[in-house]
Amino acid sequence: MTTYVLLHGGGMGGWVWKFVAEGLRERGHGVHAPTFTGFGERIHLISRSITNSTHVSDVVNLLECEEVEEAVLVAHSYAGVVAPGIQRAAAERISRIVYIDAIVLRAGECVAEALGFMSRGEAQEMAKLLARGEGPVGAGVPDQVRAMADVEPQRMSVDRDAWVFRHLTDMPLSCNVDPVSVGANDIDCPVDYLTVPHTMMKPMHQRARDLGWNVIDLDGDCDHMVHVGAPETVVEHLLAARPGL
């Protein structure tokens, strides 16, 4: 049996892994799908003081309290920012990391800078504003996702599309402008990176290749939400990423 720890993206929560988690458990594997502080059902904790380090602690504490060993850490989207810090803090508990269309940062970078939402200087100024207790608390993720879906609908059934939008919440803006202290290049365990053809994350795909990771291009009409639109495809690849395989 393998234990998978599934980490969600921006505006989401552990709930988004419902279909992948079901597929893994049906095959006899253990699954944890935590929700980061200030996201999902923990949205009531959203604040300007939450950083990427907060989310590293969320997961490291889970690993320790549940006595998880030999875990496969799975990071989607924003969670790619958090995964390196988790691996450094709990390396003995993690055997492998799988990025799914996730953000790949260098130490000192932040999400807003890497994705081209802000310049480094603008991100630094926003971080200072938030540190003073000023500026917006949330990043406005639900509105952003809806606007993007109006231009290019999510590749999933109508029912699942509605399910996603019912559950979307905001996320702390501070997490988008907080520079990481541990970069993707600091990971010292095997990493697989699953790419999808329809996504804004293609620059991140190249970063994964530049790091020498095992990059796997998913075929078919899948997009950034492949774990909801085509969960069986994700399950297949996660089973192949078990320790020792």
> Does 194 map to a domain?
yes
> Does 100 map to a domain?
yes
CA–CA dist 243, 118 (Å, integer) = 38
**12: Cβ contacts below 8 Å, ≥ 6 apart:** 39, 40, 167, 168, 169
Q: Which residues are paired to 30 by β-bridges?
A: 3
Name the E strands within the chain: 3-7, 30-32, 71-76, 94-100, 191-195, 214-217
Tokens of 185: 């290049």
* Alpha-carbon dihedral sign for residues 235, 239, 243, 245: negative
pLDDT score at 220: 81
pLDDT score at 241: 82
pLDDT score at 95: 97
245 pLDDT more than 70: no
CA–CA dist 34, 16 (Å, integer) = 10
Please answer whether residues 11 and 169 qualify as being in contact, where contact means their C-beta atoms are separated by less than 8 angstroms.
Answer: yes
> Does 11 map to a domain?
yes
pLDDT score at 153: 92
> Does 245 map to a domain?
no
Tokens of 38: 């200030």
36 pLDDT more than 60: yes
Q: Which residues are paired to 187 by β-bridges?
A: none
**How does pLDDT run across 212-235, given as a tens digit for each residue?**
999 999 988 899 999 999 999 999
Q: What is the CATH number of the domain that holds 225?
A: 3.40.50.1820
Provide the residue range defining the domain that includes 194. 3-240
pLDDT score at 244: 58
202 pLDDT more than 70: yes
The counts of H helices and E strands in the chain are 11, 6
173 pLDDT more than 60: yes
The domain total for the chain is 1
Tokens of 151: 């231009």
pLDDT score at 33: 98
**How does pLDDT run across 68-120, given as a tens digit for each residue?**
999 999 999 999 999 999 999 999 999 999 999 999 999 999 999 999 999 99
pLDDT score at 219: 83
Alpha-carbon distance values, 152 to 95, 155, 198 (Å)? 36, 9, 9
> Does 82 map to a domain?
yes
242 pLDDT more than 80: no
Average pLDDT over residues 129-156: 94
